[in-house]
Structure 1
Amino acid sequence: MKKIFLLLIAIIFSASGYAQTDKINIKKEINQIYSKYDDSCQVYHDKFLKKYDKRKYRENLNLNEKYNQDFAQFESKRQVFQKTKIENLENLLENVEKETPIIGRKFPISPKDSTVNVQKLQKDPRYKNYDIIKLTKDEEKDMYVDIENIALMRKDFSNFFDTSYFVERDDMLEAKLTFILDTDGSLKKIQAKGNDQEFNLVSILSLYAMKKKYPPAQYKGENVLSRFALPLKMKFE
């Protein structure tokens, strides 16, 4: 039996979900997408098995060529269903993101954070509504980020993520989630970079679906935006 291990390491970018909306039941939507995919594959798989009864197949080796042709056709159908599944996950994510606008405006950036080009962000039209502040070392003393958020996010995600979506996989799946902790404590603008598109999408949607809130960062006593990263790996044994 395969054992599934989900390895998580949470990293906070010194800075500076699903807008916890109830309009979309993300977990339910994901399950429906996977159920539709499984049902579609099962229909063709059952037809394939019925046509090539194992006993008859063993007794008639002349079926080999036709068997391989039909199996290739079945695999082609499965790839179409897989493409549809990915498109449905992308559409779900697009709808979720529309429901999760960032409400905070002040976005302090730590002088230790070399991953951010502040000047580019300030010129980027996507960030025109944010007050991006590059802090000095002295100003950073007025910035507070709850370091316990790291452990809480890691634990919550590990407990919530449904590994059954990938139980048939036998490779290593990796992704690095990055997101903004909004001033109301919810997770926004979740993105993922990894070696598998489907794993990226499900990881993002799962983080939104948690609908968890965490203590927001503060700068001079005011709630502000902060950034986090959550690298993760999934392997099967």
Structure 2
Amino acid sequence: MFKNNCTFFFVFILSLAGFQNLYAQENDFIDKELVKQLRGIRHEFDENMKPYDYKTDPDLYGKKFSFFYSEKITKLNNLYNRLYDQDTVSEGLAVDIKGFGTNQNPEIIEKIDESVPPAIMIQSDSPKFQVIEDYRQVENIQQVLAFRKRFSENFPNVNDLSEDDTYCDLNFVLDTDGKIKKIKYKGGREFCLISAIHMYSLRNQGKPLQFQGKPIKIYLKQPIRLKVE
């Protein structure tokens, strides 16, 4: 466990310009009840550990920590699974926006593992998808930029995570109804569960993306890196 200061690198870089004043009424996009549940699970663990002191009795502390930590992970996992299982992805048009989000910021890349994949990777694994040559042809695409800001600015405090639990890759669908769905994760268990649940709390993006007047869905990837200082 550590109490160091932490810095996030949300590798979610968009080459979009001219989008301003997009973040008004951001609370309308946040599922406050889900945020409360996430905080409650983590707070319960902290309260359960308060009676025990590592210096006084390290063996007892270790046993209690293992028990309550396992309980916390189980509750986080159950909450995540409930959210994931209730998602239904539409049969609507899936698109591959050519070149969208593949530019990477060298200053960020230098500070994290160079093997980190492109900031946004459109996963064209749907049997029905259409290539769009220019992101400016997509209506409401600015909402992705607004989401990136909300995701980073509202991220939960994770200074208490273990030093090994410092990265996560999230894959998800921005569906034709404007909602983020089917969030999958890879990386440190607790950090990923917190990241995925946090993303679910921001799943309502408002208007769907549209192309030529029709709602579309895109498959996105969100790498997250935690730098311990």
What TM-score comes out, normalization by structure 1 length?
A: 0.66
Percent of counterpart pairs with the same letter? 23
Q: Indicate the RMSD between aligned Cα atoms, in angstroms.
A: 3.4
SS of 1:201 mapped into structure 2: helix
Residues of 2 paired with 1:234 and 1:72: CA distance?
30
Contact kept, 8 Å, 1:9 with 1:230, in 2: the verdict is yes
Which consecutive unaligned segments of at least 5 residues does structure 1 have?
Answer: 13-19, 53-69, 123-131
SS of 1:225 mapped into structure 2: strand
Letter in 1 for 2:160: V
Residues of 1 paired with 2:139 and 2:13: CA distance?
12
Q: 1:92 to 1:141 in 2, by over 3 A?
A: closer
2:72 counterpart residue number: 85
2:92 is the alignment partner of 1:106: yes
Q: 1:179 to 1:117 in 2, by over 3 A?
A: closer
Which consecutive unaligned segments of at least 5 residues does structure 2 have?
Answer: 15-28, 100-120
Superposition pairs of residues 83-162 of structure 1, within 5 angstroms: 83-102=70-89, 104-110=90-96, 118=125, 122=127, 132-133=128-129, 135=130, 144=138, 146-162=140-156
- Using the TM superposition, give the Cα deviation of residue 32 of structure 1 relative to its aligned residue in structure 2, in angstroms: 1.4
1:235 counterpart residue number: 227
Match of residue 40, structure 1, among 31, 42, 48: 48
2:104 counterpart residue number: none
Letter in 1 for 2:93: F
SS of 1:185 mapped into structure 2: coil
2:166 counterpart residue number: 173
Residues of 2 paired with 1:87 and 1:200: CA distance?
13
Contact kept, 8 Å, 1:172 with 1:233, in 2: the verdict is no
Superposition pairs of residues 10-29 of structure 1, within 5 angstroms: 10=12, 25-29=33-37
CA radius of gyration, larger in: 1
SS of 2:50 mapped into structure 1: helix
1:185 counterpart residue number: 178
Q: 1:147 to 1:117 in 2, by over 3 A?
A: closer
Letter in 2 for 1:34: R
Q: 1:141 to 1:74 in 2, by over 3 A?
A: closer
Residues of 2 paired with 1:142 and 1:6: CA distance?
29
Q: 1:27 to 1:230 in 2, by over 3 A?
A: same
Contact kept, 8 Å, 2:173 with 2:182, in 1: the verdict is yes
Summarize deviations over 1:192-215 as a string: whole Å, max 9, x none: 112x10101100000111244154
Summarize deviations over 1:88-137 as a string: whole Å, max 9, x none: 001111222344433x321324396997575xx55xxxxxxxxx23x367
2:58 counterpart residue number: 71
Contact kept, 8 Å, 1:10 with 1:230, in 2: the verdict is yes
Letter in 2 for 1:88: K
Residues of 2 paired with 1:149 and 1:141: CA distance?
12
